[in-house]
Structures are given as C-alpha cells and as structure tokens.
C-alpha cells in the first residue's frame, strides 16, 4: 500500500519589518527644523509688531518677497545636490531681465513669447556652465565664478548706462506682478508651481534620483554606468532656465531694469539652499528645504529691523546660519559613516 507523503506546510512569509512612522520621519527631517525656525521667527516678530504679518501689505510681502529667491534656490539646490554650485545665476537673472526688456521695447513681441525666449536664453547660459563642468572637468566653483563675471560683463556692455522703465513694459506683465489670486500674489503662485514640479521630478523620476547618486559618490556613479555628464548638464540647464524665469518675475514685479539687477543674489540662492538642508558636499537635501530656506532668509531681512537689530548683525545672522548648516551637515555625515561601519562590523 502506497502511503502518500504529507503535504508540505504552506510557506510562511517572514514578518515584515515595522515601517517607520511617517510622523517620526517628518519630525526628523531637516526641513521640519527649518520650518519650525521660520514659524518661531515669524511668531516673535509678529508679537512685537503685529503688522509684520497681520496687515494687507505684511501678508502680501510674506509671500511676494521670497518668490524670486525661491525660484533661484530651487535651481541652485538641483546643482548643489550633484556636488556642484552655480554662482552665475545672479548674472543670468540680470541678463535675461534686460533681454526681456529690450524685446518688449524694440520688437513688441507678445508677453508669452518673450517669457519663453528669456527662459530659453537662461537655459542656454546654464548649459554652457554645465558643459564646461562636465567635459572640462574643472570645479564648478571656478567655472561659474568665471561665467558670473563674463555674463555680468556682457550685461554691462550691452546695457551701459541705459535703463528700461516700467512704461516700456506691457501693462499685462506689470499687472501680473502686482495682482493676487485668493489673497496670494501671483508671483508667489508661480514659485509654488516651480517648486511642486521640481520636487515631484526629483522624488519620482530616474533622472532626479540619479542626481543624488552622482552627488553622493561621483566616481561610483560613473562606474555604475550612470549618465553623469548628461545629469550634470540637466541640472545646470534647469538652474539657468529658472534664473531666466526669475528675470521675468523681476521685470513683472519691479518694471525698472538697470545694470545692477541680480547683483549678489547668487549668494542668497546658495545660502537659502544650504540653510534649507541641501548638503554643500552633495547627495542630500530637497528643493522644498531650499524654498523654506529662501523664506527664512527673506523673513530675516524684513524682520530684524523690526527687532531693532542693526544691518551689520542682520548679515552676521545669515552668515551664522550658513556656517551652522554646513557644520551640521558635516556632523551628520560623519555620524552616518560611523553607523554604517558599525553595522558592517556586526554583520
């Protein structure tokens, strides 16, 4: 009599690891700390002078003032994540703003066409940076410091002592720069859209994830076969395009364009990204954090005079924030490295 073999016991899945609480992850995020610092600063400043937020101009300026810097900081964050930096964005902003003004003054092209041309011009200038960095293998700090002066020199030679006035800009663009939708300035809404698109692309796309891989370890990314040159070109082109868009937003908000437009704003863009948690050593951070950093910087500029702090100390506070962010990044990186070594020894 043949005996049947017992049926094998159904395979059991190993118990799944308990997923980390989303709330815990959110509380540990660098962006949360920066956001809480921003909220605390706004609360203290508003307690001293309620009009800082609770007035028509105060609420509008809370969103309007950072809008241009947010757009620049988003592009800057994408570049810094690849372990590079773009110091030319201020010059690109000024050059594209003047380009837009001349197109309005000399050609009468529709607003949308001029906007697209300014963004395209910015992308081309950013692409030049990226090509020099990716193919010449020269540090981005050196390359973009050079193009900062080259682009600014072209701008100064072109503009000279001329100034484009608000009367030369179409009323539709000027009204866009001063109008609001549901109480939120339209320029701020543009910056929110840019932020949302960039954050989604960085988080979900292969290209966005590869920017982090390249910034974490460029040599390993190359050995793994990632298209490092293509991704670096993409990051710099995006930064330049957003600087071109920022030039249009500047025209929409201020109308008047002189040779000093964009001077020094590149350092604010870098500072916003670093303060917002984007590691200056590359490989970590988010564009959302960079945007929060931009809000914190502009709020400090607006709020410290209300607190009676002299201008010198306003600059010092920003500098201390940047130094603190860099030191914190270094400490966290070393702690993570030691943790990985300990786990390797245990295994």
pLDDT of residue 2: 47
pLDDT of residue 329: 67
The residue assigned the tokens 């395009």 is 241
Q: Domain 2-346: give its CATH architecture.
A: Orthogonal Bundle (1.10)
- Is the CB of residue 307 less than 8 Å from the CB of residue 48? yes
In 3D space, the residue among 33, 86, 76 whose CA is nearest the CA of residue 277 turns out to be 33
Average pLDDT for consecutive 10-residue bins of the chain (347 residues)? 47 48 62 84 86 83 92 96 94 95 89 95 96 89 94 90 86 90 91 96 90 85 82 95 96 89 90 88 88 91 79 75 73 66 67
pLDDT of residue 302: 84
pLDDT of residue 321: 76
pLDDT of residue 12: 45
pLDDT of residue 141: 92
Helix and strand counts by DSSP (H, E) for the chain: 15, 2
Q: What b-and-e string marks burial along 293-330, b requiring 16 or more CB atoms within 10 Å of the CB?
A: bbbbbbbbbbbbeeeeeeeeebeeebeebbeebeeebe
Show the tokens assigned to 94: 């000024």
Show the tokens assigned to 174: 């000027």
pLDDT of residue 118: 96
pLDDT of residue 22: 64
| Stated pTM of the model | 0.86
Task: List Cβ neighbours of 193 (8 Å cut-off, separation of 6 or more).
Answer: none
- Residue 283's φ and ψ, nearest 5 degrees, are 90, -10
Dihedral (Cα; 282, 285, 286, 290), 10-degree rounding: -90
Distance CA 245, CA 258 (A): 17
pLDDT of residue 295: 93
Distance CA 238, CA 300 (A): 28
Instruction: For 9-58, give the secondary structure using H, E and C.
Output: CCCCCCCCCCCCCHHHHHHHCHHHHHHHHHHHHHHHHHHHCHHHCCCHHH
pLDDT of residue 45: 87
In 3D space, the residue among 108, 103, 134 whose CA is nearest the CA of residue 120 turns out to be 103
């Amino acid at each position: 009599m043949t005996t049947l073999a017992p049926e094998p016991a159904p395979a059991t899945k190993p118990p799944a690891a308990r997923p980390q609480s989303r709330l815990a992850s959110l509380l540990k995020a660098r962006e949360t700390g920066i956001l809480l610092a921003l909220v605390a600063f706004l609360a203290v400043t508003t307690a001293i002078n309620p009009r800082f937020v609770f007035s028509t101009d105060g609420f509008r300026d809370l969103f309007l003032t950072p809008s241009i810097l947010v757009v620049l900081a988003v592009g800057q964050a994408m570049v810094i994540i690849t372990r590079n930096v773009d110091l030319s964005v201020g010059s690109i902003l000024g050059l594209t703003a003047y380009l837009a003004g001349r197109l309005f003054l000399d050609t009468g092209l529709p607003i949308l066409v001029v906007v697209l041309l300014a963004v395209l011009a910015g992308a081309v200038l950013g692409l030049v940076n990226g090509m020099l960095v990716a193919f010449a293998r020269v540090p981005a700090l050196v390359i973009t410091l050079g193009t900062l002066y080259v682009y600014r020199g072209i701008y100064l030679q072109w503009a000279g002592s001329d100034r484009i006035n608000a009367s030369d800009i179409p009323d539709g663009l000027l009204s866009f720069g001063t109008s609001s939708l549901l109480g939120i300035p339209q320029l701020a809404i543009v910056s929110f859209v840019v932020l949302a698109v960039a954050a989604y692309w960085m988080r979900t796309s292969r290209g966005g994830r590869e920017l982090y891989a390249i910034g974490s370890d460029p040599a390993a990314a190359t050995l793994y076969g990632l298209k490092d040159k293509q991704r670096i070109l993409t990051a710099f082109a995006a930064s330049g395009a957003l600087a071109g868009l920022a030039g249009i937003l500047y025209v929409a908000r201020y109308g008047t364009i002189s040779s000093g437009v964009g001077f020094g704003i590149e350092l604010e863009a870098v500072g916003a990204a670093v303060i917002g948690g984007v590691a200056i050593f590359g490989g970590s951070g988010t564009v959302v954090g960079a945007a929060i950093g931009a809000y914190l910087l502009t709020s400090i500029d607006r709020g410290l005079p209300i607190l009676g702090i002299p201008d010198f100390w306003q600059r010092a506070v920003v500098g201390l924030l940047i130094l603190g962010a860099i030191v914190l990044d270094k400490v966290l990186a070393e702690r993570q490295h030691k943790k990985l070594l300990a786990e390797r020894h245990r295994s």
